[in-house]
Amino acid sequence: MNTAPRRTVLVTGSTSGIGEAICAAFARDGADVVVNGRDPQRTDAAAERIRATAPHSEIRAVAADVSTADGVRVLTDAVPEVDVLVNNAGIFEARPAFEITDEEWIRYFETNVLSGVRLTRHYAPGMMRRGWGRVVFISSESAINTPKEMIHYGATKTTQLAVARGFAQAVAGTGVTVNTVLPGPTLTPGVEVFIADRVGDNIPFEEAERRFIAEERPTSLLGRLIRPEEVASLVRYVASDGASATTGAALRVDGGVLSSIIP
């Protein structure tokens, strides 16, 4: 007989790619899952896809733009408490360093950093009172290897490491853990567009993928893009009871792109 508690998991930015894969993994485990995105139709559609793979889990769709304080309030009003928070919402785009405006820098920090800060600030105290909780920030190998074509993105991902470590220290000894997961280049719809822009859209994607890894991420030991399900597997572990001694950590699922021994 399974006596494990049924937990509620919120994954921001989960209408496709890594976020959707994380939702699907938790749903298959029997968790109640909250799917979040900015667009109501896309958010509902993602929830339906996940529901089809896990009919015994409760799947909720909550459309809210977590890059704004008002959007975070919409989400937290709809879902006051969660047991697992996965801060996955994020944006990226190639842009020459000297062409990144103040407005873009602010937009990147609002979306990639402050969304997770605001949500952790809201949900972690409840986790502490209940004596159990998991907060996971989805960072990137770009937190360590700042990409010259998008330094604003890399800077926000580095900041997430510090934010997560700080929150982990703030919740020490409460049964709550806070960690970051660092994916490498992952096959998501956004990355497909990114690679097409970098390599060219007049060749089959398999060849574009090979060229991108060989030319722009040559340190990859995997030799291909990571799949979202592979990232979800690590997140699923970090959020488990078995990961109770893992906190304040930066955990890599980067396919060996980072050549350093530790992040």
**Quick check: 48 and 86 in contact, CB under 8 A?**
no
Q: Exposure pattern of 116-152 as b/e (b: 16+ CB <10 Å)?
A: bbbbbebbbbebbeeebbbbbbbbbbbbbbebeebbb
Token output for 143: 């937190």
Told to judge if 153 belongs to the known catalytic residues of this protein, a careful annotator would answer yes
Distances 172 to 54, 81, 176 between C-alpha atoms, Å? 34, 20, 7
Rounded Cα distance between 69 and 177, Å, is 24
The rounded radius of gyration (Å) of the Cα atoms in the chain is 18
- Give me the DSSP letters along 38-72: SSHHHHHHHHHHHHHH-TTS-EEEEE--TTSHHHH
Rounded Cα distance between 216 and 251, Å, is 22
Among 108, 123, 153, 237, which one carries the catalytic annotation? 153
Instruction: Please state the separation of Cα 226 from the chain's center in Å.
Output: 14
Rounded Cα distance between 137 and 152, Å, is 17
- Residues involved in catalysis: 153
